[in-house]
Amino acid sequence: MITAIIINGIYMDSTFLMRLSRDIKGIGGVNRATAVMGTEMNKTVLDEFGALDEKTQKAGPNDLVIALDIEDLGLCGKVTEFVREVMSKQNEPAVGEEGPRSYPSIEAACGAEKPNLAIISLPGEFAAEEGINALENGMHVFMFSDNVLLKDEMEMKRIGREKGLLVMGPGAGTAILDGISVGIMSKVRPGPVGIVAASGSGLQEVAMLVHRYGLGVTQAIGTGGRDLSKDVGGSTMLMGIRMLKEDPDVGVIVLISKPPHPDTMEKIFAEVKKCQKPVVIFFLGGDRETVKKSGAFYAATLEEAALMAVTIARGGKPAETDYVAECKAELEKMARAEKAKLRPGQKYLRGLFCGGTHSEEAVVLMQNFVPDLHSNIKFGRTEFLKNRHISLKNSLVDMGDEEFTKGRPHPVIDPSIMNDRLLQEGRDPAVGVILFDLLLGYAVHENPAGTIAETIRQIREESEAEGRYISMVASVCGTDLDPQGFDAQKRCLERLGVHVLESNGRAALLAGMIVSEGGKK
């Protein structure tokens, strides 16, 4: 049955709410749960959940609404008690060497401390005001918040330019600042690589690969997804390039994004041409010759961008080869072996992604050789999935898209939301390959692989009972320094028969080759 609990006059940020939604689902008898603030936009989430009624309609922006699908209304008291206990711990002030430190406002914090970074996670309609306040108080801004008006983003970035302060976001999820991981980010060793990225999972993928190749990252600046639009004009990326140019600890710069608007791209390339440090550029689906004319190195995949950066930092020069073709050649034997295990009717792949850029990179790498490619994101040469819940033929689905995450935890925070979809794809007799990614790091789930392990086991058992084999291919974006431990997560998947590849790009290529002519028997 569907019901809702309302706690009036208490505000919690979006990151806390995503975790709370996940944790409530762990209470016995709770089938579904979502925790949101009672804003007008969130009432559409409540409506979709089935919990919008006269009571929840009256909730305001400072009222916490917990929508529940539970087996017994008697559980409401238990859930309420659990929520209040979690909230009480959330509100405990941080304890430093000098005792408790908690401040009611940015001004109060600045009066007592000398902070230089504000991390903002508020509803979009309130975030910009606090961002401007932080900038006026001399702080760089890392804004996790989405749904910030374009004009407000432009105003924050104007102020940031004038004051020489970075505005990372809105919609920034990852960064490394002076060697310290910020947001939903892996831990990597400090080193000579600097990154500026309009992509959270792209930034993390390159940083963790650089770490895995033996070097490190000192600065990685997330710009937010709209930064390279015509209106914003690459404000944060341009400032980031200039800052990295002046940073003595940065020896090579990596830029990551979808192709910018042409006007913005001209500004970026003009700045790159003035840069005395080597620059590697990965613009998803970008043009090789255009990038090379700017004097930068062109990378066809996130993996190649990381490898180029490491090669340059070690004093070498990247080879000018077809990196994708080389990867496919290395994967051909495995692709053929996997394809040989499929029955004739198993001809489709289904990709489920936590990282948005991971799904887009998969599109770019597959679109030239995998037919009938569909996606829930309008990117590349794919057919758009009108119903995001139903895959068609070969489908790549970004499970972190806002259509999936409104009022719900992002799959990086709660990978269990992928379980139903994984099972759905595994039960389709036409499916031969399931492709997925997992992300590790701070502020994410403590055991992503373990969360989906039982579902993978169930898919294996059901398909084998029907005389089918399903090839499972994955990438794990993380390092040995992450709390979850890269090796432990990889072993968990491999014990279940999942092929874990070194990078998202390689995983996408292998999956595509298994169902295409490139992996034919």
The DSSP code for 418 is: G
Q: How far, CA to CA in Å, does 473 sit from each of 142, 293, 353, 482, 499?
A: 34, 37, 12, 22, 5
The DSSP string of 366-413 is: HTTT-SSEEESS--SS-EE-SSTTS--SEEEEETTSHHHHTTS--TTT
DSSP secondary structure code for residue 442 in this structure: T
Residues whose CB falls within 8 Å of the CB of residue 354, separated by 6 or more in sequence, listed in order: 201, 399, 400, 410, 411, 412, 415, 418, 436, 437, 438, 439
Which amino acid type is present at position 104?
A: P
Return phi, psi of residue 209, to 5°. Answer: -70, -40
DSSP state for residue 103 in the 8-state scheme: -
What is the rounded distance in angstroms from the CA atom of residue 157 to the CA atom of residue 2? 43
C-beta separation of 241 from 275 below 8 A: yes
Query: For residues 437 and 204, is the Cβ–Cβ distance under 8 A?
Result: no
pLDDT of residue 87: 82
Q: Is 3 helix (H, G, I), strand (E, B) or coil?
A: strand
> Is residue 496 within 8 Å of 456, Cβ to Cβ?
yes
Helix (H, G, I), strand (E, B) or coil at 94: strand
Tell which residue, 482, 486, 483, 447, has the closest CA to residue 187: 482
3-class DSSP string for 285-321: CCCHHHHHHCCCEECCCHHHHHHHHHHHHCCCCCCCC
Which two three-digit tokens encode residue 459? 């898919």
Q: Are 195 and 256 in contact (CB under 8 A)?
A: yes
Task: Check residue 293 and give its pLDDT.
Answer: 94
Is 232 within 8 Å of 226 (Cβ atoms)?
yes
> What are 398's strand-pairing partners?
353
What is the Cα–Cα distance from 418 to 411, expressed in whole angstroms?
A: 7
Q: Which residue has the tokens 């006059």?
A: 9
Token digits for 78?
A: 């238990």
What pLDDT sits at residue 74? 87
Burial of 445-477, coded b for 16+ CB within 10 Å and e otherwise, reads bebbbebbbebbeebbeebeeeebbbbbbbbbb
120, 139 contact by CB (below 8 A): no
pLDDT in tens, the chain (521 residues): 999 999 998 777 777 887 888 889 889 889 989 898 888 878 888 888 899 999 999 998 889 999 999 988 888 999 999 988 888 776 555 444 455 567 777 888 887 778 899 999 887 888 999 999 999 999 999 998 888 999 999 999 999 999 999 999 999 999 999 999 999 999 999 999 999 999 999 999 999 999 999 999 999 999 999 999 999 999 999 999 999 999 999 999 999 998 899 999 999 999 999 999 999 999 998 889 999 999 999 999 999 999 999 999 999 999 889 999 999 999 999 999 999 999 999 999 999 999 999 999 999 999 999 999 999 999 999 999 999 999 999 999 999 887 787 666 788 888 888 999 999 999 999 999 999 999 999 888 899 999 999 999 999 999 999 999 999 999 999 999 999 999 999 999 999 999 999 999 999 999 999 999 654 54
- Answer whether 452's CB lies under 8 Å from 352's CB: no
For residues 372 and 353, what is the distance between their CA atoms, to the nearest angstrom? Answer: 19
* Token pair belonging to 365: 């790498």
pLDDT at 521: 46
Q: How far apart are CA 5 and CA 101, in angstroms?
A: 31
Query: What's the predicted TM-score (pTM) here?
Result: 0.86
Greatest alpha-carbon pair distance for the chain in Å reads 70
Output the pLDDT for position 520: 52
What pLDDT score does 219 carry? 96
Helix (H) or strand (E) holding 35: strand 30-37
Strand order in the sheet with 2-7: 2-7, 64-70, 30-37
pLDDT at 97: 47
pLDDT at 21: 86
Rounded Cα gap, residues 278 and 284, in angstroms:
20
